[in-house]
Structure formats: C-alpha cells, structure tokens
C-alpha cells in the first residue's frame, strides 16, 4: 500500500496529509505530540521562580534547540506575561558559544548558585534522646553518632569564581588510628542531617594515611573544599605531618 493510501485509510486522515513529497501535520497533532512536554517545561520554570534566589528575575533567556519551537515560546509568554522572553538568534548554538566564551575568558561568569548541598560524612558526640540509637557507635573517644552530614556549603548558596574555599577540621576516634577516610556527599536538601537520607549521594572518597600513629586522640585532619571553578576540589591534610590527599569532582562521569 502506498503511504498516501495508508494515511488516508488511517484514523489520522483528517489531520495528516501528504503534499507532494512532504508529510503535512495539523496544529492539533503538534499540540498532541508536545503538549505534555510544554506543560512540564512551564511547570518547572514556575517552580524555579518560587525559589527566593531568582524570584525577582524579570527576563527569561531561551537557549538550546527546543527554544526554537514557537509552541514553547508562546507557552512561556502566556505563562509569564510579566516577564520578558528573549530568544537570541540561533538559540541551538548558544550553549556551545557560551561554553567557548567561558573557556577563553572564565571570569565572564563571576558566580553560580549551587544546586545541591555539599559536605562530608562525620561523627559527633552521641546525645541520648537526640540521635537515633542505630547511629550510636563505641569509639576510643566515647560514644559517637555516625553518618552525620557535615555541611560545607548549602544549596542555593552563591559561590564566586576563584573565591569560595571552605575548611573544616576532624580528629581521630581511635588510638593508633592509621588512616582517615573522607567521604564526600551532596544532598538535594538544604540542611540534611545524615548522609544516608533520601536525596544524598556519595560523590568522592579520600583516604589519607596517618604516619606514626599513637594513642592520642587529637590527631587532626583538615578538609577543604573549593567551589569557585568548573570542578569541586577536595583536599585533606594531616596537620601533624603535612601529608595530603586530593579528589577532583567534575560530574562528567
């Protein structure tokens, strides 16, 4: 059967037609195909504007291939009549051009808003009635609460390029401890309590070895995170010996 006859015999005969060598679709078909996608896009943008960090933004800049869709442009204009909708020339290449500009002149972007909360797994003194019993562990330093999320930078924080550097210090829990593992996590929550909560994800792990361990429990390891670049750099340093270990998180894997 010829494709023209197949279309004419189908339930789409009134909304789909063959014109010379092209398939002609009515607006109804396009709305049916993209209606759900358009609505989800609009709903997501509405959700973003409920965040306090961008609530006062007046301009929506549309980039990427889908931004060329007149249906999407119209949907955003109708959903945000008080916002200015800007569609640059050839929006499908804007992301690429922006990446090239940033690669050559990184300081063109002087800051970014973090999508997640970042921190490390830690242990703190256990408090009866405050911490869950299942988190209670016995160490040479006493009873501790494990799996605590030690926050370095919270979600929605604005970090500046080449400027955001956070440092915390952690001590050993056992006598003659030979190493310390620094497990790095992100969370979708702004103030997570524990690293095994929903929305938490381990993103890196650093093992730093402690030379000449002894029975003292004040062996300190400093952990720092640098957020201002396109990568997150995590450094751990044994303050007694100066031994260091590093992890670089690029989220490209």
Domains of the chain: 3-109 (no CATH), 112-249 (2.60.34.10)
User: In the predicted model, is pLDDT for residue 52 greater than 70?
Assistant: no
Do 231 and 248 form a contact (C-beta atoms < 8 A)? yes
Give Cα 240 distance to the centre of its chain: 35
pLDDT digits (tens, 9 = 90+) for 173-186: 999 999 999 999 99
At residue 1, the pLDDT reads: 66
User: In the predicted model, is pLDDT for residue 81 greater than 50?
Assistant: yes
pLDDT digits (tens, 9 = 90+) for 92-101: 898 888 888 8
By CB atoms closer than 10 A (0-12, 13-18, 19+), residue 147 is buried
What is the sign of the dihedral through the CA atoms of 53, 55, 60 and 62? positive
Strands 59-61, 84-86: parallel, antiparallel or unpaired by DSSP? parallel
User: In the predicted model, is pLDDT for residue 247 greater than 70?
Assistant: yes
Q: Please give the Cα distance from 98 to 64 (Å, whole number).
A: 11
Total-model pTM: 0.74
Q: Which of 23-27, 191-195, 211-215 has the lowest mean pLDDT?
A: 23-27
Q: Quick one: angle between helices 27-49 and 70-79, nearest 10? A: 50
User: Which residues are within 8 A (CB) of 192 and not within 5 positions of it... i.e. 6 or more apart?
Assistant: 117, 119, 149, 151, 199, 200
Do 185 and 201 form a contact (C-beta atoms < 8 A)? yes
Look at residues 111, 121, 117, 104 and name the one whose alpha carbon lies nearest to residue 182: 121
Q: What are phi and psi of 87, to 5 degrees?
A: -120, 105
Do 175 and 155 form a contact (C-beta atoms < 8 A)? no
Query: What share of the chain in percent tops pLDDT 90?
Result: 59
Give the CA-trace dihedral at 196, 131, 118, 120, to 10 degrees. -80
221, HSE (Cβ side, Cα atoms, 13 Å):
28
What DSSP string describes 206-223?
Answer: EEEE-SS--S-S--EEEE
User: In the predicted model, is pLDDT for residue 253 greater than 60?
Assistant: no
E runs forming strands in 154-212: 158-160, 165-171, 179-187, 200-209
Q: Please give the Cα distance from 173 to 25 (Å, whole number).
A: 69
Neighbour count for residue 238 (Cβ, 10 Å):
19
At residue 87, the pLDDT reads: 93
Q: Alpha helix locations (H) across the chain?
A: 3-9, 27-49, 70-79, 94-104
């Amino acid at each position: 059967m010829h494709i023209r006859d197949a279309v004419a015999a189908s339930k789409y005969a009134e909304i789909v037609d063959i014109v010379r060598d092209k398939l002609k679709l009515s607006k109804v078909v396009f709305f049916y195909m993209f209606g759900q996608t358009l609505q989800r896009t609009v709903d997501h943008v509405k959700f973003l504007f409920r965040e306090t960090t961008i609530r006062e933004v007046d301009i929506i800049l549309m980039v990427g291939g889908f931004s060329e869709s007149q249906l999407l442009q119209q949907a955003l204009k109708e959903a945000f009549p008080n916002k200015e909708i800007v569609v640059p020339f050839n929006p499908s290449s804007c992301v690429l051009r922006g990446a090239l500009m940033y690669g050559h002149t990184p300081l063109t972007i002087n800051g970014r808003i973090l999508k997640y909360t970042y921190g490390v797994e830690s242990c703190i003194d256990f408090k009866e009635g405050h911490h869950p019993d299942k988190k209670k562990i016995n160490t040479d330093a006493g009873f501790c609460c494990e799996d605590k999320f030690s926050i370095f930078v919270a979600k929605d924080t604005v970090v500046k390029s080449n400027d955001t550097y956070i440092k915390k210090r952690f001590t050993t829990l056992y006598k003659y401890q030979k190493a310390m593992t620094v497990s790095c996590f992100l969370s979708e929550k702004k103030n997570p309590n524990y690293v095994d909560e929903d929305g938490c994800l381990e993103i890196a792990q650093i093992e730093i070895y402690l030379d000449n361990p002894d029975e003292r429990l004040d062996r300190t390891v400093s952990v720092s995170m640098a957020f201002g670049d396109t990568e997150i750099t995590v450094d751990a340093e044994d303050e007694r010996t100066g031994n260091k270990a590093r992890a670089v998180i690029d989220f490209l894997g």
